[in-house]
Every structure is written in C-alpha cells, then in structure tokens.
Amino acid sequence: MRMSKIVRFSADVLFGAILIFGFYIILHGHLTPGGGFQGGAVVATGAALVIVAYSYEEVLHMIKKAGLMLQESAGLVMFAGVALIALGLGTTFFFNYLANSGLLFGMSVPFGPNPGELNTGGVLPLMNIAVGIEVWGGLAIVILYMLSGISKAEEA
C-alpha cells in the first residue's frame, strides 16, 4: 500500500531540505542550539516521511536495514572510542584533549559574546557527529521495523 502521488512528490521534495537542516544542526551543535540528538532526530523525521509515503517494497529498495543497524552501532562505537582515546593519552575519561590544542577543531574562544567559529570545540563536534549518526540510524530503523510488521499483517 502506498499513498497518493501528491504525498509522494512532497516527500521527495521535502526530504532533501530536512536532511540538510538536520546536518546543519548536527555540525553546528557547538555553536547554535541543538546538537547530535536533536539533529539526528530531525534527519530521522525526514527518513520517516519517506517511509510513510511509500510502500514497504519500495522503501526496502531505497533503505537497507543492515545499513541502518551498522550506522547505529558505528555511531555508538565512535562515541565511546573518542572518549576512550583520552584514557590512552593519560588523562581522565571524556577529557576534552583537542580543545585549545591548535589541531582539528582546536581553536580557542575568547570569553564573552562572540560570533563563533566552526573550527572550535575540541572533541565536542566529533561527539555530536557520532551521536547524530547513532540517533539517525536508531530512530529510522524503529519506524522501518514497524512498517515491516504492518505489511506482514496486511497480507495475512
């Protein structure tokens, strides 16, 4: 079962815009309100729009379940791995070892109100990206599994 042509066309058009907005929220998580969880939920909303608009067989051609599962696991492993590297460097767990270091995301920030710079934050942007990938995969695969359940129930 699929929805009407109007719904499918709107889903196709809106999917790209929602995706770009979600990536913006994830990547600017250390500058503007939002972060990994919020941005990942926005991206998963775009995926849910496509999943609701199309039938189960068409969705399976667009999105792979194993890919989403791998994405979710990779996000959690990346999040824990970034935190574990700090232990290898001889500091505490979750220590922000990249902040003020001059390396990747390593610029300093002056105190008080300032316009902000994308290349700051230390490990925080990496963790935002990791959590964003995880939440995206996790919430999308929940909706996909529910769609697969009802498509089986329709046939019976």
Partner 1 sequence: MRKELSILIIVILGVFLALIAVDLTFGAPDNSAMDDYFIRNGQEQAATNNIVTTVVFDYRGFDTLGESTVLFTAVIGVALMYRKLVKGDADENE
Partner 2 sequence: MIETIIHVLVIAGLVVSAILVFHFRDLLAAALASALFSFLISLEFYILQAPDVAISQAAIGAGLTTAIFILAIRSTKRYEEDIP
Query: Binding residues for partner 1, per CB under 8 A?
Result: 29-33, 35-37, 60, 65-66, 69, 72-73, 75-76, 79-80, 83, 93-94, 96, 99-100, 106-112, 114, 116, 120-124, 127-128, 131, 134-135, 138, 141-142, 145-146, 148-149, 152-153
Residue 111: both structure tokens together = 């105190």
Which partner from the list partner 2, partner 1, none does 38 bind, CB cut-off 5 to 8 Å by kind? Answer: partner 2
Q: Write the DSSP assignment of 104-153 as a string of letters.
A: TT-B---SSS----TTBSTTHHHHHHHHHHHHHHHHHHHHHHHHHHHHHH
**Residue 72: which residues within 8 A CB-CB, separation 6 or more?**
133, 134, 137, 138, 141
In angstroms, what is the minimal distance from the CB of 104 to partner 2? 25
Per-residue x/- track, 25-64, partner 2 (CB under 8 A): x-------xxx-xx--xx-xx--xx-xx------------
Yes or no: say if 46 and 18 are a contact pair by the CB < 8 Å rule: yes
Q: Which segments of 33-119 are extended strands (E)? A: none
**For binding to partner 2 (CB under 8 A), which residues are involved?**
1, 25, 33-35, 37-38, 41-42, 44-45, 48-49, 51-52, 139, 143, 146-147, 150, 153-154
